[in-house]
Structure 1
Amino acid sequence: MVGRSKYNTFRGIKDRVWLKISNWKNQFRMPVGKEILLKAVIQAILTYHMSVFLLPKRLCMELAGLMSKFWWGHKENDKKIKWMSWGKMGVSKFNGGLGFRELESFNKALLAKQVWRILINPSSIVARVLKDKYFKRTSVLNAKLGIYPSMIWRSLRSSIELLKGGLVWRVGDVQSPARILEPDARVDQLLEDGKWKSELVKEIFKEEEAEIILIIPINQSNMVDKQIWTPSKKERDQKVGNLHTVVVRSRGGRNCPAAVDVWAEVNSPVQKWPMGEVDLGQLWNRVVDKCSEEEVVLIATVMRNIWLRRNSFVFEEFFSSLDVILNKAKASIEAYQEAQSKPVKAIEQIQVHREKVRWKAPREGLVKINWDAAYDLKSKRMGIEVVIRDAKGEVLVSLCKTSFHSVSVAAAEVVALWRALILSTELNIGKAIFEGKAFSIIQAVCSSEERLEWHGQRLGDIRELLRRRPLWRVIHTYREGNLVADFLAKFALNIDDEKVWIEDGPSGYESLILGDKSCNLKPL
């Protein structure tokens, strides 16, 4: 029961957290152990309560203070220096922090997740109870607070604006509102014969917006418009040069006074190097150019140990000798290599297995339809390919097509499979096997789970078409068993329109066809 004071209601959470932390004080001293305990135990205690209730800000701040005290080694009444604010330690590890959760934001994110579940699963008991009481004639996104609301509903409603910030309409039956046109305009005004009116779209919207709109596939199986969650994603692939901005701030280089004794050691790969470099980024480039791979790994590991030695001296007044640093670095490398040896063997076994994969002809009465897609990230251009062969491996039909409107490799693979199905429908093929290397797409097609990606409506079209054609099935193969389709998909990137060949194909693919045939010859 939640009383007038929310703080007193949830105060027991703080007591539970402190009870856990106080029992760990003298048992765990290593930073790695503390990090695991804070993330896996303490923050897990809060998850259930934060998924249902909006905790008071005061309580969140006090909980963060307890975790900060535990991290810096304080006892209950100790007052020691905190060398970094808890907020900065919550920054992701990629950006220099430790990835601890900011509790207030984490609380709102969990509540927004509950609202999202109500939105996509309106038939659940919780959704029906809340709808009957608080938003009987509207959507949960437009619900009002109401009279005498419960603490749970008040908490959930506080996160609706956060959820709205990431919601967009995915086009289905084109009844979703077109915001930039007239207030009563609908998306179907931008369509003609199931395709986008590209000229009209480019006239109304900015160039960047028009390109995004023209990428969106149009549903063919009367799926309703769907709101999906598309939060912005940070760029994950960073150039090596960007790493220097982090490296130059670290210590352990040739000019660092605390590292001179280590680099001057006889066994050091850079013992006789001059000490004229000022920028650690330039020094690192030279290390990569001049040293072998083993030496580069050793230097990087030694730099890390120098940094740990510095921290140990500053915070624990303990200074390691240079022999300890070098020996520890070599031991770490050996341990890592030993730990990686078994997975590497497993990978080699998989690769050997894949090398034996070849295209396999279908049995008599069936045709095999291989499909594939190639994607040019720079130009956002995709090439798709479909090749149909009979039980003897003879090519019946080949198709290559290019398009400038694609958002990802997965979307291109979906388009390729859809074109293969449409081509088979046009040719009135009765029994067929559709074979491709896009495992995630094939898995999604064979699953009944609703897909909320941008290309989810096209996956729905594919499922519906396969349902009406019970003698068609989709299977997976590796690239080694799909070489012809892979070659033609890359060829499609160099053409300007769709091309179809009957019992033929573009020049250069004949050797691949003969290779597939030879693998299916029956011994005399």
Structure 2
Amino acid sequence: MIAKFWWGSKNGEKRIHWVKWDSLCDSKNEGGMGFRSFKAFNDALLAKQGWRLCQFPNSLLARVLKARYYPRQHFTHASIGHCPSFTWRSIHQAGWIVKRGSFWRVGSGSEVNIWIDNWLPLQHGHKVWSPKPQDCVATHVYDLIDRSVNDWNRGLVENYFLPFEADQVLQIPVINLQAGDKFTWAETANGQFSVGSAYHCIRSWEKLEAKGASAEEVASRATKELAEYKCQLMQLREGDRPAPSQSSPRVWSPPPLGFFKLNVDAAGTGCVWGLGVVIKDEGGNVVGARCRRESRAWSPEMAEVAGLVMRVQLARDNGFWSFNAEADCQSAILKVQAKGVCSAYVDLLVQELQCMVPLFSSISFSHVFREANNVAHHLAKHALVSHDELWLGCTPPCIQSFIASDVILRTN
């Protein structure tokens, strides 16, 4: 009907359809008109209902369907069952979209099966490719974690996985073993399902499979196209993001009487990050500092939030109960100030930080420009060539000149 409308008709006379409808549904960048494929869009809408069954397991519909069709397993492993209802048949036929585009964010690891579930965030398909060793007794991700040190059991991981997968596993942060595992949509920045991202996934997968591409080519092309889509989406939303406030300080200023000021920064790229924390009193004197090197595949935002957690822990362990915390990464500050959390790994750090906040008499988090955070920035850079160092009641030699610069700028 829509194709007839597009190509035109008169008195019931059919016109020639010069291009097939599927080609018109391609994006304009690919030579199409950007029309919606009704089948793909309908599948995306049905996939959203499946996603809601995973995210809201206590809803009435989720409890009814689970009791009837998948009482002892997750939605992504459910079968069609015997004499299914039209509702379940419809949702189930779109379940492959949820399964293919999602992965588990590891908390405790108790709900995630190592060999069946999707849980490697950087891998195409998010599933383990390594064959299960015959002598392997580990079934869940929980079995790979050394709970005495709150980190991965490196020996087990390197023994069970191929080298490239072992590296991926070891880069996944183990933050809070009390936190539950979270089912996460891989194709959006906040880990939440959206019909738009699901639609683009379906179109990418369908086109590549129709061309007879290999699984690796399908995964590579889909990843590239989805990355482009995310960039376009971020550009469209850029106007909705709060710009750095012009009132944010550009020069370091001392805290009020009786308070301390904590400055933090992260420096590095890729898999190595340096974290630096500096605590000063109302006179601008350094009363504590710490730097630490982390070999983790973190995003800049996650590294900054990790630095916030480290400085709050430093304040707690040394009795600084009233302080103002400053950082030059606005997205990290907004994460800490936000009441809601999403499914990204960074939010496990935010939850840990928020749990410590009630312990303090007074605590605040604010954004400053890099010029007002210069001391912490250079301490973070020092951490890249150093180890975990702690200074109490003295000034780290590597930042003395930058502290003097802060004093000069403040007095001018």
What's the CA shift string for 1:296-354, capped at 9, x where partnerless? Answer: xxxxxxxxxxxxxxxxxxxxxxxxxxxxxxxxxxxxxxxxxxxxxxxxxxxxxx89936
Distance 1:121 1:140 in 2: 12
Q: Is the 8 A contact 1:367 1:432 kept in 2?
A: yes
- State the partner residue of 2:128: none
In structure 1, give the amino acid aligned to 2:163: E
- State the partner residue of 2:406: 516
Q: CA deviation at 1:372?
A: 1.5
Q: Is the 8 A contact 1:392 1:517 kept in 2?
A: no
Label 1:430 to 1:356 Cα distance change in 2 as closer, same or farther (>3 A): closer
Q: Which runs of 5+ in 1 are unaligned?
A: 1-65, 239-349
Larger helix proportion, structure 1 or 2? 1
**Is 1:366 matched up with 2:251?**
no
Label 1:470 to 1:93 Cα distance change in 2 as closer, same or farther (>3 A): farther
TM-score of the two chains, using structure 2 as the length reference: 0.72
Q: 1:159 is matched with which residue: 91, 94, 98?
A: 94
- State the partner residue of 1:253: none
- State the partner residue of 1:88: 23
What's the CA shift string for 1:149-205, capped at 9, x where partnerless? Answer: 432222111112221123322222231333246365333433332122334423332
Q: 2:274 is matched with which residue: 383, 387, 390?
A: 383
Alignment of 1:241-390 (within 5 A): 353=246, 357-377=250-270, 380-390=271-281
Label 1:351 to 1:121 Cα distance change in 2 as closer, same or farther (>3 A): closer
- State the partner residue of 1:197: 153
Label 1:370 to 1:92 Cα distance change in 2 as closer, same or farther (>3 A): farther
Q: 2:348 is matched with which residue: 454, 457, 471?
A: 457
Distance 2:379 2:29 in 1: 39
Q: Is the 8 A contact 1:355 1:480 kept in 2?
A: no
- State the partner residue of 1:109: 44
Q: Is the 8 A contact 1:221 1:460 kept in 2?
A: no
Percent identical pairs in the alignment equals 31
Label 1:142 to 1:387 Cα distance change in 2 as closer, same or farther (>3 A): same
- State the partner residue of 2:203: none
**Is 1:172 matched up with 2:126?**
no
Distance 1:76 1:103 in 2: 26
TM-score of the two chains, using structure 1 as the length reference: 0.58
Q: CA deviation at 1:369?
A: 1.0
In structure 2, give the amino acid aligned to 1:90: C
What's the CA shift string for 1:350-409, capped at 9, x where partnerless? Answer: 8993696322221111111111212324xx322222111111122222323223322422
Q: Is the 8 A contact 1:217 1:457 kept in 2?
A: no
**Counterpart of 2:290 in 1: which secondary structure?**
strand
**Counterpart of 2:62 in 1: which secondary structure?**
helix
**Counterpart of 1:396 in 2: which secondary structure?**
strand
In structure 2, give the amino acid aligned to 1:185: T
**Counterpart of 2:282 in 1: which secondary structure?**
coil
Q: Is the 8 A contact 1:366 1:390 kept in 2?
A: yes
Q: CA deviation at 1:94?
A: 4.2
In structure 2, give the amino acid aligned to 1:118: L
Label 1:72 to 1:515 Cα distance change in 2 as closer, same or farther (>3 A): farther
Distance 1:403 1:396 in 2: 24
- State the partner residue of 1:208: 164
Q: CA deviation at 1:83?
A: 4.5
- State the partner residue of 1:393: 284
**Is 1:411 matched up with 2:302?**
yes
Q: CA deviation at 1:113?
A: 1.4
Label 1:80 to 1:458 Cα distance change in 2 as closer, same or farther (>3 A): same
Label 1:190 to 1:131 Cα distance change in 2 as closer, same or farther (>3 A): closer
- State the partner residue of 2:141: 187
> More relative contact order in 1 or in 2 (CA 8 Å, sep 6+)?
2
Q: CA deviation at 1:135?
A: 4.2
Q: Is the 8 A contact 1:69 1:75 kept in 2?
A: no
Label 1:236 to 1:102 Cα distance change in 2 as closer, same or farther (>3 A): closer
Alignment of 1:409-488 (within 5 A): 409-469=300-360, 471-488=362-379
Distance 1:81 1:496 in 2: 72
Q: CA deviation at 1:127?
A: 2.6
Q: Is the 8 A contact 1:172 1:219 kept in 2?
A: yes
Q: Is the 8 A contact 1:375 1:383 kept in 2?
A: yes
Q: 2:388 is matched with which residue: 483, 498, 502?
A: 498
Label 1:390 to 1:73 Cα distance change in 2 as closer, same or farther (>3 A): farther
**Counterpart of 1:369 in 2: which secondary structure?**
strand
Range with bigger deviation, 356-365 or 77-86: 77-86
Q: Is the 8 A contact 1:177 1:184 kept in 2?
A: no
Q: CA deviation at 1:117?
A: 1.5
Q: CA deviation at 1:96?
A: 4.3
**Counterpart of 1:363 in 2: which secondary structure?**
coil
Distance 2:11 2:388 in 1: 73
**Counterpart of 1:482 in 2: which secondary structure?**
helix
- Give the number of the structure whose alpha-carbon radius of gyration is greater: 1
Distance 1:373 1:514 in 2: 21
**Is 1:234 matched up with 2:224?**
yes
In structure 2, give the amino acid aligned to 1:369: L
Label 1:463 to 1:112 Cα distance change in 2 as closer, same or farther (>3 A): same
- State the partner residue of 2:123: none
Q: Which runs of 5+ in 2 are unaligned?
A: 116-131, 188-221, 229-242
Q: Is the 8 A contact 1:361 1:520 kept in 2?
A: no
Superposition RMSD on alpha carbons, in Å? Answer: 3.3
Q: Is the 8 A contact 1:466 1:473 kept in 2?
A: no
Q: 2:173 is matched with which residue: 193, 201, 217?
A: 217
Q: CA deviation at 1:452?
A: 0.4
